[in-house]
Amino acid sequence: MTEGLARLAQNPARRQRPVRVTPKMRRRRLRASGILLILLLVIGLLVSKAGSAGSPAAGASRKATQKPELVVSTTPGRTIAVPGSAPAIPWTSGQSAVAVPSAGLLETSGPETPVPIASLTKMMTAYLTLMEHPLTATSSGPDLTLTAADQQEYDLDTEEDASSVDVQAGEVLTERQLLSGLIVRSANNLADTLARWDAGSVPAFVARMNAEAAALGMTSTHYVDTNGLDAGSVSTAHDQLVLASQALRLPSFASIVDQTTVTLPFVGTLDNYVSAVGSNGVVGVKSGFTQAAMACVVLAAVRQVGSKQVIVLAADLGQPEGLDYAGQEDLQMIDAVSAGLQLVPVARAHQVVGKISLSGRTSGTGATYAPVETSSALFAVGWPGSNVVVSVDRARVGRSVRSGADVGFLEATAAGGPPTSVPLLATASLHG
């Protein structure tokens, strides 16, 4: 190649003649130059943007344009000691316990050992069914068509003189009707019907019952059946009130146990075996009796404490005097506990408990803030000698808030029970 170039230089006659540029060729060259220039500009912009993104100064500039968020700052939480002395509770001759869920109270008559609980077992059957097949306080739920196995279950219970509800193969009952027959009429056969519907078999459902008991902290409870006919289903008064307190939080369970009668398509109207329901403020929950368990009764009643209505529970297990006697003892314990409950004032209506401000600045030059106040007065139900803990659950406010908007909750928790609360409100509009 080098020799060829040398010969070309030595012989000018052989050099290529200049190419004549036509208008068409000139237009093509201009178009190509324009495209090249655009590509160079795009590459330059990308390089510049990448350099700016890695620059600390550029990041600081962007942060400077972001609006700071509004922050809720409140006064520290506090503890209120409930004054007075707890009243004496008339414990029964059997194993007994009392509870006030809203006050975090659960007291027992003494050391407990697991004992047979008869039909109190059905409280867990109903609770677990409602947890897995929820109902509202008034809904009926799905329809279930009863089978020959369900009818045979009734026949067997009748032969054993066990409480049951007559059913027919092909009969259609709703979930609520089944649960009402289970609780109100203490139908042993319907307990197994619900178990097969939910879990496919009774043993599978019983396994779920024990798992749920463990999850609720019922450490002295063990189930071997769904209805309590077997003496192997055992528990304590303490554990039964743990379950009853939890179950009554479900509006569906509360409405089912608070029925004086139940009406079913085939058998008609049946009375509640817990005869106390509907009188003396009693709103449930369950009774049971077998020779191994004797009389077992758990009652829940509404009592007035100041301006609040409070649920008080009592359990009496192993009572040899019968169901009515056990129910009366429950009521005596309920009344004694109610007399000791107090309504503890926590905060007044429109009481300032903190401030909402721009990035937490509540004082100094440029501070912008508004007081945060309670929407209404807050009271807690307390038991003498216990404590009420006051705290604030703050909501995320963002970069603006309008006057009167909820910005959190003031909460009062008595002795570790469920909190009661009132909303906290901003008293002015603010913008970050």
Segment 256-265, tens digit of pLDDT: 999 999 999 9
The rounded mean pLDDT for the chain is: 85
More confident residue, 84 or 63: 84
Nearest Cα to 131, choosing from 255, 233, 247, 213?
Answer: 247
CB 194 within 8 A of CB 289: no
CB 114 within 8 A of CB 235: yes
pLDDT at 246 over 60: yes
Question: Which residues are paired to 397 by β-bridges?
Answer: none
What pLDDT, on a 0 to 100 scale, did the predictor assign at position 314?
98
What pLDDT, on a 0 to 100 scale, did the predictor assign at position 3?
41
- The confidence band for 355, taking pLDDT boundaries of 50, 70 and 90, is confident
Structure tokens at 174: 């709703």
Distances (CA, A) of 375 to 368, 391, 401, 427: 22, 15, 16, 10
Average pLDDT over residues 274-286: 97
- Helix then strand then coil, in percent of the chain rounded to 5, is 35, 30, 35
- The confidence band for 396, taking pLDDT boundaries of 50, 70 and 90, is low
What pLDDT, on a 0 to 100 scale, did the predictor assign at position 369?
81
What pLDDT, on a 0 to 100 scale, did the predictor assign at position 400?
83
- The confidence band for 27, taking pLDDT boundaries of 50, 70 and 90, is low
What pLDDT, on a 0 to 100 scale, did the predictor assign at position 116?
98
Structure tokens at 412: 């009062």
3-state secondary structure of 238: helix
Whether the bond between 285 and the residue before it is cis, its omega within 30 degrees of 0, is: yes
CB neighbour list of residue 391: distance below 8 Å, 6 or more residues apart: 77, 410, 411, 413, 419
Nearest Cα to 381, choosing from 351, 352, 420, 347?
Answer: 420
Alpha carbon distance 421, 395 (integer Å): 14
HSE of 138, CA atoms in CB hemisphere, 13 A: 0
Average pLDDT over residues 200-229: 98
The residue type at 371: P
What pLDDT, on a 0 to 100 scale, did the predictor assign at position 31?
54
- The confidence band for 160, taking pLDDT boundaries of 50, 70 and 90, is confident
Least confident of 124-138, 351-365, 382-396: 351-365
Alpha carbon distance 393, 421 (integer Å): 9
pLDDT at 72 over 80: no
pLDDT at 346 over 50: yes
- The confidence band for 394, taking pLDDT boundaries of 50, 70 and 90, is confident
- The confidence band for 366, taking pLDDT boundaries of 50, 70 and 90, is very low
Angle in degrees, CA 16, 19, 24, rounded to 5: 160
pLDDT at 8 over 80: no
What pLDDT, on a 0 to 100 scale, did the predictor assign at position 293?
98
CB neighbour list of residue 107: distance below 8 Å, 6 or more residues apart: 89, 97, 98, 99
Least confident of 66-70, 103-107, 149-153: 66-70
pLDDT at 6 over 50: no
- The confidence band for 410, taking pLDDT boundaries of 50, 70 and 90, is very high
What pLDDT, on a 0 to 100 scale, did the predictor assign at position 63?
41
Alpha carbon distance 164, 309 (integer Å): 35
What pLDDT, on a 0 to 100 scale, did the predictor assign at position 11?
40
CB 112 within 8 A of CB 95: yes
How many other C-beta atoms lie within 10 A of the C-beta of residue 107? Answer: 18
Least confident of 100-109, 246-255, 335-344, 410-419: 410-419
Q: How many residues does the chain have?
A: 432
